[in-house]
Every structure is written in C-alpha cells, then in structure tokens.
C-alpha cells in the first residue's frame, strides 16, 4: 500500500502539535462519560453570554478530547475557550450523566499554565494577582497607597471619566471592585483562642481568608462571635495563610500545593473538631485538599483528614443548631434575598442550610430570585481577567436580585459581595449586601439593622 507524501506530512505535523503533557491530563474516561446531550448549555454562564459551542462545557470537552488525541493543538485558539470558563460548576449540578466537569477543567487549567506561553500582558496581570492576593501580609502593605488613592479622590475621578478603562480594561476591572479601605483593614485583632460562652460544645478552628480578613474583617469577627455564642471554643492559628483557592482555580499547581501544605501545618496539633470557613470559594478548595495533594506521599493522608473536618459556617450551624436566642433584625418583617455563591451551591452542594438558618431569625421573609443558580460573574479572579463577560453577568444577577423586591441581600462569598455591590452602585441602588454570619451576629446581640 502506498502512502502519499501529503499523508506522511500531515501525520508528522499532528505528532508535532503542542498538547497536554503526561502529568494528569484530562481523564479520557471522564471525557467519555459526556454523551453530548446539551443539558449544560442553558446553565453555562459563558455560553449564555458568548453563544459559542466551544464556550460551553460540552464544547470544551470536545477540545480536551481532541487535544488528548493529538488532533488539535493547545494554542491561543483553544486556550481562549478554556479561559472563558468561570469554573462555576453549574454544569456539574445539571448534567444528567454525572460528568465530572470540575475535574476535567481543573486538570486542563493546570496543563494550560504549564504548556501554553501566555502573552506578556497576560503574564503581567496573572503574576500581579498571584503575587498579591494569596499573601495577606503583603497585600496589607499595598493598602497604604490604595487608602491614599481613595482619600485623595482618584477612585471617583477614574470611575467618573472611564479613563482607566481606556488604558486597560483589566486594570479598570480590578479598580472597580476595590472596596472602601478603612483603618480596620490594617488590624488583626482576633486572639489565637476565644473561649466559648456557656457550656463548651465544640472546639473549632476558623480560617480568616485573604481578601476576607483585609476587606471584610467584620465578617470574621461576626463569625467568631456567633460560634462562641453557640458553645464553640474558637482557635485561630496565626501561621495560617491562603487556602489556595485562587491559584488552584487558575492552574498554579505548585503555588496551590505549597499554600495547602502551609494551611494543614497551621492547624496541626490544634485538636479541633471542625475547621470553619465563611467564604464559599475557600471552602470548596479546602474540601479538595485530598485531591490537590494526592500525589504528595507526606501530605496525602494529612490532606484527607484535614478536608474531612472542613465545614462552611452555615453548614455547621444548620447541623449543630443554635443555643443562643435569635432576635428580630428590624421592627417590621424583613424581605431578604439570599445570593447562592456558586462554590457553595454547585461545588459543596450547600443550598438549603443557609436558608434554614436565615429563616430562624424572627421576622425574616426569604425571597427567591430567578436564575438563582447562574453565576454573578465574579468567579474568583474571572472578573479581573475576563471583564467583558463578567460585566454582563453582574448586571443580570443584580437585576434578578432587585426584581425580588427584597430590602437586603445576603451573600456568603467576598467575591460575590464585591461584584454585586459594584453593579448595585452602577444602577444607583442603595441596598446593603451582608454576610449571613453578620445577620446572625446582629440577631444574637439584639442589634437592629439600619436600612
């Protein structure tokens, strides 16, 4: 049988295509579990905005398979479709075949970061994000010039003129979600051990987070007060750092592993019954430590044991119940809408519990928005790396929340809170976005909200 010269050249060119390496590529067995039914399309936020098959879970699985088989390359044309994924995991909840898209996109992102040479601009922004956000002590230093920037009115100037957006949409996106910096952002006042009020029921560790501890320190303080008021002795190791969510979700393999090891070590010998986290994205990653460190012989079992103790604060309280009395937050019934964070709803399958505990506050009336399961567009650092798609999703989310007629929005993730607050301001709406743990804290202390 004769083989044409063109056929030989085509075969050779396919073999030379840059693809995935041999270190944990997307599992062909998981890829083959997709029956291409298309149920995921309507729930995928990137597909709903961009309208392209390759920007859907099904389309990306096609690409993963083709790269695995050496039929197409891992290049700009394919990577842009992987980058457009928010990682919200709505497709995992929707898929009738149980396709583990979360594992597929995670493996792919780590492959992309190892094997695809990004542009200098892209490298700069990613390096900026991963050099700052996972390191709260370093980020706290940066707060000084940012505080001056806000106090001198530069923030209002750039937002009013849109000048920064003309220079760089990504920089403008980063600046647009910057919350107000106060003196509390520089404080780190929580002690290492806080005694339980009344009879001690549990000894729990609390993770402070990175963005959470700097920009939302009142949430951490409220969480500690709620836990101690309900019979928990709280332990806060000073050596804890980042949970590794940001680098893990964006394929920064070694950085994610190093941060996970540090977190595990910080809670070693603390003898806690549970490890409590109040940020949805962090909680999902903490529960994945067994997967992140599965190839580490020293930490493999430690990671599994640690992950087994991790509980979202709302999940924990819904299970153990309240011993403290809950009081009304307002003199009249309060219409409240709860915003489902994707990594709680789809990643951790936590949806009923937050609603259960909020309904226990006297006078609270919960409203449900349409498209509650659709991502707000924050998705970790997605709103900084893919601002155009993020903007549209943020507008949709806020409009759906406003349409409920609720007077208050409860949000259990800092990224969601920043995104929703930004788009409320853009629409000229003065509605507060408050963490459920803060609402519980107000209720336990008998303090009324000023709406």
Quick: pLDDT tens for 167-179: 888 888 888 888 8
pTM of the model: 0.90
Which residue positions in the chain have pLDDT lower than 50?
A: 1-15
pLDDT of residue 129: 87
CATH 3.40.50 maps onto the chain at 186-320, 334-445
What does the chain come to in residues?
451
| 3-state SS assignment for residue 353 | helix
pLDDT of residue 13: 42
pLDDT of residue 16: 55
CA dihedral 271, 277, 278, 283 (to 10 degrees): -160
Q: Are 369 and 401 in contact (CB under 8 A)?
A: yes
Fold of 334-445: Rossmann fold (3.40.50)
pLDDT of residue 371: 93
Q: In a 10 Å sphere around its CB, with 0-12 CB exposed, 13-18 middle and 19+ buried, how is residue 325 labelled?
A: exposed
Q: Are 397 and 422 in contact (CB under 8 A)?
A: no
Cα gap 205→192, rounded to integer Å: 10
pLDDT of residue 14: 45
CATH number attached to the domain at 186-320: 3.40.50
Fold of 28-115: Fumarate Reductase Iron-sulfur Protein; Chain B, domain 2 (1.10.1060)
Q: Are 202 and 214 in contact (CB under 8 A)?
A: no
pLDDT of residue 429: 93
pLDDT of residue 357: 96
CATH 1.10.1060.10 maps onto the chain at 28-115
pLDDT of residue 5: 36
């Amino acid at each position: 049988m004769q083989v044409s010269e063109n056929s030989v050249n085509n075969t050779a060119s396919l073999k030379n295509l840059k693809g995935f390496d041999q270190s944990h590529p997307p599992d062909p067995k998981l890829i083959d579990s997709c029956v291409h039914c298309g149920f995921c399309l309507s729930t995928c936020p990137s597909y709903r905005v961009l309208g392209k098959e390759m920007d859907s879970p099904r389309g990306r699985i096609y690409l993963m398979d083709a790269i695995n088989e050496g039929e197409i390359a891992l290049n700009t044309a394919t990577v842009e479709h992987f980058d457009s994924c928010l990682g919200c995991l709505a497709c995992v909840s929707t898929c009738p075949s149980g396709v583990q898209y979360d594992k597929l996109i995670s493996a792919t992102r780590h492959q992309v970061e190892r094997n695809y040479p990004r542009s200098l601009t892209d490298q700069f922004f990613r390096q900026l994000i991963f050099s700052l956000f996972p390191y709260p002590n370093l980020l706290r230093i940066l707060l000084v010039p940012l505080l001056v920037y806000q106090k001198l009115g530069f923030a209002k100037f750039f937002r009013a003129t849109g000048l920064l957006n003309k220079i760089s949409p990504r920089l403008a996106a980063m600046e647009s979600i910057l919350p107000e910096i106060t003196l509390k952002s520089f404080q780190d006042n929580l002690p290492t051990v806080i005694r339980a009020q009344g009879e001690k029921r549990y000894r729990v560790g609390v993770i402070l987070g990175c963005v959470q501890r700097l920009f939302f320190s009142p949430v951490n303080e409220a969480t500690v007060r709620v836990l101690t008021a309900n019979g928990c002795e709280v332990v806060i190791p000073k050596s804890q750092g980042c949970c590794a969510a940001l680098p893990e979700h964006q394929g920064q393999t070694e950085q994610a592993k190093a941060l996970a090891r540090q977190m595990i070590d910080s809670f070693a010998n603390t003898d806690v019954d549970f490890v409590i986290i109040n940020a949805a994205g962090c909680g999902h990653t903490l529960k994945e430590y067994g997967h992140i460190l599965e190839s580490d012989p020293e930490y493999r079992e430690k990671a599994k044991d640690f992950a087994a103790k991790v509980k979202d604060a709302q999940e924990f309280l819904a299970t153990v119940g309240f011993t403290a009395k809950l009081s009304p937050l307002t003199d009249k019934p309060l219409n409240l809408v709860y915003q489902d964070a994707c990594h709680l709803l789809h990643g951790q399958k936590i949806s009923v519990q937050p609603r259960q505990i909020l309904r226990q506050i006297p006078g609270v009336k919960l409203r449900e928005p349409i498209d509650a399961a659709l991502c707000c567009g924050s998705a970790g650092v997605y709103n900084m790396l893919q601002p155009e798609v993020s903007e549209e999703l943020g507008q949709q989310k806020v409009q759906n929340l406003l349409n409920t007629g609720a007077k208050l929005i409860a949000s259990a993730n800092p990224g969601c809170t920043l995104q929703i607050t930004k788009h409320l301001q853009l629409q000229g709406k003065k509605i507060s976005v408050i963490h459920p743990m803060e609402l519980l804290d107000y209720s336990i202390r008998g303090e009324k909200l000023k709406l």
